[in-house]
């Protein structure tokens, strides 16, 4: 039996998130899970990300509970970390204006996730699952 992966504290998780710039937003579309890679930054308001997706993404995430995951895993030995943020998402900018401001990037949406739960784990180095 393999040992359980160690949990990371919230402050350590936030520090790890600040060390990378690409993650994945997880949301639902028609009761099915959807995962979209996105560039992001962490600031005093939460996780702010910019993603392609247009109106369909806006409808799916605005006001909804979403997950955001980022990680760093060694290609050599599989060691690293994974951090997940859960919280409500708000669209703060979208193509074409509207209630949110224009993004300045064609087809991209800017989303802010307010973290209500931040969890993370350390991954042990091992190439076997």
Q: Are β-strands 117-123 and 108-113 bridged in parallel, bridged antiparallel, or unpaired?
A: unpaired
Q: What is the mean pLDDT of residues 59-86?
A: 94
pLDDT value for 129:
56
Distance between CA 47 and CA 85 in Å, rounded? 8
pLDDT value for 3:
58
Distance between CA 67 and CA 64 in Å, rounded? 10
Q: Are β-strands 46-52 and 65-73 bridged in parallel, bridged antiparallel, or unpaired?
A: unpaired
User: Using an 8 Å Cβ cutoff, are 120 and 72 in contact?
Assistant: no
Q: What is the mean pLDDT of residues 73-89?
A: 94
pLDDT at 70 exceeding the cut of 70: yes
pLDDT tens across 5-30, in order? 789 999 999 999 999 999 999 999 98
pLDDT tens across 104-118, in order? 455 688 999 999 999
Domains of the chain: 7-117 (2.30.110.10)
Beta-carbon contacts of 14 under 8 Å, excluding residues fewer than 6 positions away, are 42, 118
Distance between CA 27 and CA 61 in Å, rounded? 7
Q: What is the mean pLDDT of residues 46-74?
A: 90
Q: Indicate the average pLDDT of the chain.
A: 86
Q: Where would I find the H helices in 1-129?
A: 10-18, 54-61
User: Using an 8 Å Cβ cutoff, are 86 and 115 in contact?
Assistant: yes
């Amino acid at each position: 039996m393999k040992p359980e992966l160690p949990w990371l504290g919230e402050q350590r998780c936030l520090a790890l998130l600040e060390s990378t710039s690409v993650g994945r937003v997880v949301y639902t579309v028609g009761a099915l899970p959807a995962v979209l890679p996105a560039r992001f930054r962490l600031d005093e308001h939460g996780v702010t990300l910019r993603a392609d997706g247009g109106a369909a993404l806006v409808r799916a995430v605005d006001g909804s509970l979403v997950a955001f995951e980022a990680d760093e895993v060694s290609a050599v030995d599989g060691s690293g970390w994974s951090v997940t943020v859960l919280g409500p998402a708000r669209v703060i900018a979208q193509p074409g204006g509207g209630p949110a401001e224009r993004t300045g990037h064609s087809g991209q949406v800017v989303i802010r996730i307010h973290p209500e739960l931040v969890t993370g784990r350390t991954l042990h180095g091992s190439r076997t699952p």
